[in-house]
Amino acid sequence: MTIDFKGRVAIVTGAGGGLGRQHALALAARGAKVVVNDLGGAVDGSGGSVSAAQAVVDEIVKAGGEAIANGASVTDFEAVQAMVRQAVDTWGRVDILVNNAGILRDKSFAKLDLADFRLVVDVHLMGAVHCTKAVWPIMNEQKYGRIVMTTSSSGLYGNFGQSNYGAAKLALVGLMQTLSLEGAKNDVRVNCLAPTAATRMTEGLMPQEVLDALRPDAVVPAMLVLAAQDAPNRTILCAGAGTFEAAHITLTQGVHIGLGADAPERLAAHLADVTERAGEQVPASGAAQGANEVGKAMGALRRA
């Protein structure tokens, strides 16, 4: 089965270079009409120019595709709304949103200025919220939409010096978990992509041979699957160097400890049983945690 996007309209943020550029080129090569969004700033978010986005548009048009450039900052909701109107005015719809825009302000938490924490959260988390909020009514009304949130292993598993980045990236997983439930009835599917790719944001952080293996285009197949008509829903797909994995937020079976003054001590004594991963589950929703806890409590009452 060939994945194609003929007749589909896609918005890719942060698409002036690196991974976003590869996403935009790949979607266009498979038939999508693409809004190439990029503020054109530096890795830390400073500056701005639409020239980076326009260069990618020129590549797409030269290859026979259709694309338009947009220089909105994802932190500006009014500018994001105007970007979405631009897509609808040009092509009549929006089918795909790839939330890819991001910046880095790396420092250990002890040395990190709170302004840099807020800015990274604003770009990654609120930027994705702004873009998703702007396309959400359109996708639900047309009963079709594919939204890809760009999370990160730094959010899923942690990374020294990236408390701001990691917090924002894991927050996107939480956003995806709920939106995937709310959009399901209208075939609006929401997923996360956790890429490992060499871009401007990773220069100087890894040996060159590793950077060569982590080509941005090696991540693109995962994005295409998550943006496709047959995309999954509520999936965290990891990708790097041509390898693909899935990440899950799981829940162990747990142990009913009960109440009482010595409950903390009994919990500490049984902590290894509580954290035992045999039989762990991927809950269908947040309510499943409560259901598991109440179920064990009721079982303990029946046995008493």
Tokens for 284, please give them: 């269908």
User: Which amino acid type is present at position 118?
Assistant: R
**Which helix H or strand E contains 154, and what residues bound it?**
helix 153-157
Q: How far is it, in rounded angstroms, from Cα 55 to Cα 50? A: 9
Q: Number of C-alpha atoms within 13 angstroms, CB side, residue 265?
A: 3
Q: How far is it, in rounded angstroms, from Cα 250 to Cα 261? A: 29
**Which helix H or strand E contains 289, and what residues bound it?**
helix 287-303
Long-range contacts of 41-48 (CB under 8 A, 24+ apart): 41/103, 43/103, 43/104, 43/200, 43/201, 44/103, 44/104, 44/105, 45/103, 45/105, 45/119, 45/123, 48/73
- Residue count (the chain): 304
**Is 165 an active-site residue?**
yes
Q: What angle do helix axes 127-142 and 77-91 make, rounded to 10 degrees?
A: 30
User: Which amino acid type is present at position 169?
Assistant: K
> Which listed residue (105, 139, 165, 219) is catalytic?
165
Residues catalogued as catalytic: 165
